[in-house]
Amino acid sequence: MLQKLVIRNYAIIDNLEVKPDAHLNTITGETGAGKSIILGALSLILGARADTSVLINKEEKCVAEAHFDVADNKAFGQLLEQEDIDFEPVAIIRREISAAGKSRAFVNDTPVTLPVLTKLTSMLVDLQQQFGHLALENDSFQLDVIDAIAQSVQDREAYNIQYKEYRKLSASLADLQQQQLQWQKEADYNSFLLQELTEAGFKENEIEDAEKQLKQLLHAEKIINTLKAAQASLEEGELPMVNEAKRTTQSLQAITDVFTEASPLQERMNSVWLELKDIAAELSALQDKVSLDEELVSKLQERVDIGYKLLKKHGLQDTNALLALQNTLQHAMDDNSALTDKIAALEKEQQVLFAQLQKSGEALSVKRAKAMPAFIAQINELLALVGMPNALIDIQMKKFDTPALHGVDDIAFLLDANKSGQFLPVQKAASGGEMSRIMLCIKSLTAAAMQLPTLIFDEVDTGISGEAARQVGILLRKLASHHQIICITHQPQVAAKGTSHFYVFKDEGKDGRIKTQLKLLAQDERVDAIARMIGGEQPSKAAIDNAKELVEA
């Protein structure tokens, strides 16, 4: 609810403050007194573009500031949190325009951009010029109206929860299906690679070990000959090294008794003899380990060739890298199998949720359809009362092919403005004034069940008078029992219905400039203002009596 609006240095407004009540606030005044200027200043709060031409005093900034009671407005609080703005029970929205043309906006003293300002204030105020057309072009709003009169708001909320759950599951399913599709594009090739590696059947380090063994086999004859020659030099021939080392050891042993200094050399020579003897034995043993098996050579060569081919194909360096790749491909195959099972489970769950969603949507649709005939009849009765006797409203309800966010219904408000038998979307068939009255009729029927911001109607009664104007006033007063309304009017029947009556007028200031002023009228002042609306600047006694009757009524 708007608690206070302060305007400074805007057009012919020097300093003005409005404190509307919580119900129906009517604003009257002569044409050109400045009523539209007040709305222009309020538009700045709502995010309208700034223009330095509105500054009276070019040396001071223009300020429009609005205070809103938002203590119970949870949706607004959530939006503030999303924008990282502190929540206060009274939200202060301020717009400033400097003489240089720089515009700044603040919400609770936090600077915000115009898009953020517009988004926030749209939850607090709706100007009639915006409200009429935009609301009826909004499918969600039309459903809000139908659900309000059908008393199906809670049903829709329950449906919304089901729908979001269904959409969340469907998104997860689509993601998994995309993963599977991507895998399937490469599945045949990956399966071939895995089969190739599996059939190769390599063990850890096998290629490297086979290559080493193969080198030995290919040089086996040379290796054996070398080993034999070495052994022969140690144990065979005319002067075998082992025998000579033994003989030298024995010779030294013979003199150690008389020449003790030879004893260490004799011990070292004995060690040499033993080492040569051991080497000769190992050379003999190694000869037995070297194979000349041609079949084994062929087998090892084949394994090495297969290994090198696979290493080159995959750009890898060793057997273990190939085994790691094989393991990765096997896991991928296993994961795809698990993915298939998971997709099947989710598809089954999706079918169950879809069936539940359709059932809830159909139940919601039945409630809406049942409530619409009476609602259409009531609106058409009200339209006749507010000066649109030839207009007929109809509501078209079609079914979506698949459940949507707010149900299975596509709702469209249609209007035949002149009993032509041709119904068109309301926003295309109604004039601005007609649109305002249509919206007023709709709101009056749904006021108790719908959450609405402060509603501002700018001359909703244009083009009507007499009984039609009185009915507009009655509807406004009824709507104001649930929502705050500010209504600019030229009709005495409407002005008299206000719980607060503000009068806009021009006055000459001390500096000689004409300025817009605004005054909250007392009871006797209201009678006088309404009498002048009826009978002119010098109202007759009949006009005054009529004004008293309107105010007292």
What pLDDT shows up at residue 535? 87
State yes or no: pLDDT of 133 exceeds 60: no
Looking at 317, 332, 359, which one is the last position of a domain?
317
In a domain, 535, yes or no: no
Q: Are residues 5 and 109 in the same domain?
A: yes
pLDDT value of position 259? 86
For residues 212 and 119, membership in a common domain is answered with no
Predicted pLDDT of residue 131: 42
Q: Give 454-513 pLDDT, tens digit per residue.
A: 888 887 877 788 888 889 899 999 888 888 999 999 899 999 999 999 999 888 777 778
Domain of 97: which CATH number?
A: 3.40.50.300
How many domains does the structure of the chain reveal?
2
- Are 119 and 210 found together in one domain? no
Residues 118-134, mean pLDDT to the nearest whole number? 70
Report the phi/psi class of residue 237: left, alpha or beta, with left for phi > 0 and alpha for psi in -120 to 50: left
Average pLDDT, the chain: 86
Whether residue 413 is contained in a domain is answered as no
Are 270 and 249 in contact by the 8 Å Cβ rule? The answer is yes
For residue 425, being part of any structural domain is answered with no
For 277-327, give the secondary structure using H, E and C.
HHHHHHHHHHHHHCCCCHHHHHHHHHHHHHHHHHHHHHCCCCHHHHHHHHH
Q: What is the mean pLDDT of residues 109-113?
A: 93
Dihedral angle at the C-alpha atoms of 133, 135, 137, 139, nearest 10 degrees? Answer: -170
Domain holding 61, by residue range, is: 1-124+453-466+483-521
Q: Residue 132: is its pLDDT beyond 50?
A: no
What confidence score (pLDDT) does residue 95 get?
Answer: 93
- Within a domain: 473: no
pLDDT of residue 130 exceeding 50: no
Dump pLDDT digits (tens) for 226-279.
888 888 888 887 888 888 888 889 888 888 888 889 899 999 999 999 998 898
Cα dist. 369→150, 357, 422, 502 in Å? 8, 18, 22, 43
Torsion on CA atoms 203, 205, 206, 212, rounded to nearest 10: -170
Average pLDDT over residues 179-193: 75
30-40 pLDDT tens trace? 877 778 888 88
* One domain for residues 108 and 220: no
Establish if 137 belongs to a structural domain.
Answer: no
**Among 276, 302, 317, which residue terminates a domain?**
317
**What is residue 486's DSSP assignment?**
E
What is residue 138's predicted lDDT score, i.e. its pLDDT?
65
Local confidence band at 293 (pLDDT 50, 70, 90 cut-offs): low
395-429 pLDDT, tens digit per residue, is: 999 999 889 988 999 988 999 988 888 999 888 88
359 three-state secondary structure: helix
pLDDT above 70 coverage of the chain, percent: 95
Residues 302 and 211 in one domain: yes
The mean per-residue pLDDT over the stretch 83-94 comes to: 93
* Residue pLDDT, tens place only, 329-387: 778 776 667 778 888 889 999 999 999 999 999 999 999 999 999 999 999 999 998 88
User: Residue 108 pLDDT > 90, yes or no?
Assistant: yes
Token duo for residue 100: 């240089």
Same domain, yes or no: 12 and 113 = yes
Task: State which amino acid sits at residue 484.
Answer: Q
Residue 263 falls inside a structural domain? yes
- Is pLDDT above 90 for 450? no
In a domain, 134, yes or no: no
Same domain for 99 and 212? no
The tokens of 444 are what?
A: 């009056």
Residue 268 lies in a domain: yes
The model's pTM: 0.65
pLDDT at position 374 is: 93
The pLDDT tens digits for 145-180 are 899 899 998 999 999 999 999 999 999 999 988 887
Would the pLDDT of 434 be above 60? yes
Would you list the DSSP string of 429-465? HS-HHHHHHHHHHHHHHHGGGS---EEEEESTTTT--
Pick from 471, 351, 464, 355: nearest CA to 408: 355
Given this model, what pLDDT does residue 397 score?
A: 92
